[in-house]
Amino acid sequence: MLPVLGEIKDLSGRPVENARVSLINEGDETGGSSDITYTDEKGVFHFINKSEGIYSVAVQKEGYLPYQDTFQSTARDRRVFKICLTKSDSFEPEVIYLAKNTGNLYGSVICDESDEPVADAVVSIGDKFVQTGEQGGFKLENIGVGPKIIKIQKNGYEKLEKEIIVSIKTQNVVVRLNKIVKYAAIAGRVKIRGKKDGECPPIKVYLAGKTSVTDYRGTFRFENIASGNYPIILIYNKKEVYNDIIKVEKGISAFEILLEKL
């Protein structure tokens, strides 16, 4: 069982106290059981003893636009969810939008990995576009109601396009961007002391969950490895003959391994 922790702030970074937070287990066979709690003076809320799965969280607070989001809770990926609420006192009366048949879309863009706000992302719907502020917030106003495609771009992140339904009422949304993972290729060679070039037997090489086998020259290769430090293990005749840690960086990395014997 896992805890679900979060904090709620407004666009200025101030904590929002006494906000009503509902948590719904979308995978519950009974149709989604709901728990309710309220934020403390620091804007913090928590739920305890929650199973892994997909949850929806909804936040309501007088004077702020409602908030909704969906996330997956796993034991491996524990994090504090950071939620940003937009005040509702800055909006024009809805009767204006009823006549115009348009709506407003207010929201924020955050990094899916860290829940941190993404500043200077370009958010567009049709020919309307804005840039997110320091807290990841954006406002798109007087948008025609109905299905629309929202596009978000930011250097270092995957481009996002998704369909949303714009209604007459002002909506508050949260959009998550995925960072672009930097991948690398590894070209390696195994040499065995006392053996000539071209006399290398097939040796299994394990790295980052992938497997390669040396050819007669002792060469091996890995593709699409994320940057980082990894153990590299060599196995011959079901015995470990080499074990070390290597650093993998973006681009092509070359490694040579010298074995005293097999």
Judgement on whether residues 123 and 163 belong to the same structural domain of the protein: yes
pLDDT tens track for 213-237: 999 999 999 988 888 899 999 999 9
99 — pLDDT class (breaks 50, 70, 90): very low
Does 227 lie in the same domain as 166? no
What are the angstrom distances between the C-alpha of 145 and each of 63, 125, 140?
A: 24, 12, 12
Contact 170, 104 (CB under 8 A): yes
**Amino acid 31: pLDDT:** 47
**Residue-wise DSSP of 141-154:** EEEESEEEEEEEE-
Q: Confidence band (pLDDT; 50, 70, 90) for 92?
A: very low
Number of domains making up the chain: 3
Residue 136 lies in domain: 91-180
Q: What is the CATH number of the domain that holds 103?
A: 2.60.40.1120
The last residue of a domain, from among 138, 162, 180:
180
The residue whose two tokens read 């200025």 is 12
As a whole number, mean pLDDT of residues 174-184 equals: 83
| Residue 69 predicted with pLDDT over 50 | yes
Residue 76 pLDDT > 80, yes or no? no
Q: Which of 52-56, 71-75, 162-166, 167-171 has the lowest mean pLDDT?
A: 71-75
